[in-house]
């Protein structure tokens, strides 16, 4: 409840993939960004919050009816339960007719409740529609990155696949290196450096896609071994976005890789074979498989 109503600075755990960070000093509460929080909440949490609101609102109006002098016709005298059920009928605009407002006071409270009910219905209908219509990419990322030789050059490789039958048009991908840097003054900064890809655009992403970053003298990771990367708390983020043909909306997703997720001297196993009829067959169950190359990469690994 403190997070819902407090405006005091909060301490929060924020994650980038599996990497955890702790933030503090922001004046934040649920109501400060209620729409965003409603959009990112899980479906069970969303409907639980709706149920709590529904019961609370009806309890409030039931109490207001109960405070009136015989305000509701056909309700049992002093029955808070009858007031609660009448409030539900009014808030939901059902109106069975067994009970109805008897006094001007009751009509006034019912008017307020009907207005609140219509507003609530509009808000929650909009939220549910927004949650259902929000585009989500179904992209499978290989669980590891690989660093090995490809076409005679040392490459950092990432692999992803489209898990939907529809294609993604104008797909774009990028690999970022995130690391910590200490300035000459002793201050720590988190740096975000893009790793150039041999091809970062895919006109129609239907099946699988392997991304290649050439590790040469121009690469930010050239000459770095695992110890050097660990010393600067380095990790990688792969970002994908594109236009989903089915929804006509842009979708985006990302995957984070820690240093232990990088397989040095390994390449991704081939997922493409031919059927007996000569048709290409892609086995997505092998999307995460790698195999040792046995070729010197030229990159320090210790």
Surface-to-core class of residue 270, CB atoms within 10 Å of its CB (0-12 exposed, 13-18 middle, 19+ buried):
exposed
**b/e per residue, 232-254, with b = 16+ CB within 10 A?**
eebbbbbebbbbbeeeeeebebb
Amino acid 302: pLDDT? 44
Residue 301 lies in a domain: no
Report yes or no: 200 and 172 within 8 Å, Cβ to Cβ: yes
- The CA–CA distances, whole Å, from 153 to 66, 136, 226, 293 equal 80, 35, 20, 13
Neighbours of 215 (CB within 10 A): 21
What's the CATH number where 193 sits?
2.60.40.1400
pLDDT in tens, the chain (302 residues): 444 444 555 666 666 656 666 665 556 665 566 777 888 788 899 999 999 999 999 999 999 999 998 899 999 988 999 999 999 999 887 878 889 999 999 999 999 999 998 998 899 989 988 888 777 778 899 999 999 999 999 999 999 999 887 789 999 999 999 999 888 888 888 899 999 999 999 998 988 999 999 999 999 999 888 889 999 999 999 999 999 887 778 889 999 999 999 999 999 999 888 788 878 888 889 999 999 986 655 555 44
The CATH number of the domain where 78 resides is what? 1.10.287.70
| Domain identity same for 104 and 207 | no
The neighbour count for residue 280, using CB atoms within 10 Å, is 9
Give residue 24's pLDDT: 59
Of 207, 7, 41, 8, residue with least CA distance to 124:
41
Give 169's contacts (C-beta < 8 A, 6+ positions apart).
Answer: 203, 204, 205, 242, 243, 245
Last residue of a domain, one of 116, 133, 150: 133
Domain housing 111: 2-133
> Are 162 and 280 within one domain?
yes
- Residue 158 CA to residue 160 CA, distance in Å, equals 7
Residue 261 and residue 145 in one domain: yes
Q: How many CB atoms lie within 10 A of CB 31?
A: 10
Task: Find, among 169, 143, 173, the residue nearest to 240 by Cα.
Answer: 173
Of the residues 105, 133, 161, the one at which a domain ends: 133
Prediction pTM value: 0.69
Tell which of 108, 133, 158 closes a domain: 133
Distance separating alpha carbons of residues 257 and 46, to the nearest angstrom: 30
User: Same domain, yes or no, for 77 and 95?
Assistant: yes
Question: Does residue 302 fall inside a structural domain?
Answer: no
- Domain total in the chain: 2
């Amino acid at each position: 409840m403190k997070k819902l109503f407090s405006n005091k600075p909060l301490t929060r755990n924020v994650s980038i993939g599996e990497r955890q960070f702790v933030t503090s000093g922001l004046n934040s509460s649920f109501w400060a960004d209620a729409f965003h929080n409603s959009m990112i909440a899980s479906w069970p949490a969303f409907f639980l919050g709706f149920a709590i609101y529904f019961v609370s609102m009806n309890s409030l109006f039931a109490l207001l009816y109960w405070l009136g002098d015989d305000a509701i016709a056909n309700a049992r005298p002093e029955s808070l339960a009858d007031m609660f059920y009448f409030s539900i009928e009014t808030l939901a605009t059902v109106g069975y007719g067994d009970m109805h407002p008897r006094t001007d006071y009751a009509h006034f409270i019912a008017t307020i409740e009907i207005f609140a009910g219509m507003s609530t219905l509009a808000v929650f209908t909009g939220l549910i529609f927004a949650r259902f219509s929000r585009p989500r990419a179904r992209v499978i990322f290989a669980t590891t990155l690989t660093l090995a030789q490809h076409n005679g050059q040392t490459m950092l490789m990432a692999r992803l696949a489209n898990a939907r039958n529809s294609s993604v048009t104008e797909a774009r991908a990028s690999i970022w290196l995130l690391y910590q840097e200490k300035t000459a003054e002793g201050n720590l900064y988190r740096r975000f450096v893009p790793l150039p890809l041999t091809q970062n655009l895919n006109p129609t992403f239907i099946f699988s896609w392997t991304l290649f970053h050439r590790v040469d003298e121009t690469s930010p990771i050239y000459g770095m071994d695992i110890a050097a990367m660990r010393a600067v708390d380095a990790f990688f983020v792969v970002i994908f976005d594109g236009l989903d043909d089915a929804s006509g909306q842009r979708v985006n997703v990302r995957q984070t890789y820690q240093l232990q997720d990088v397989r040095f001297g390994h390449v991704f196993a081939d997922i493409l074979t031919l059927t007996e009829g000569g048709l290409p067959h892609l086995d997505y169950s092998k999307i995460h498989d790698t195999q040792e190359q046995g070729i010197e990469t030229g990159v320090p690994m210790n």
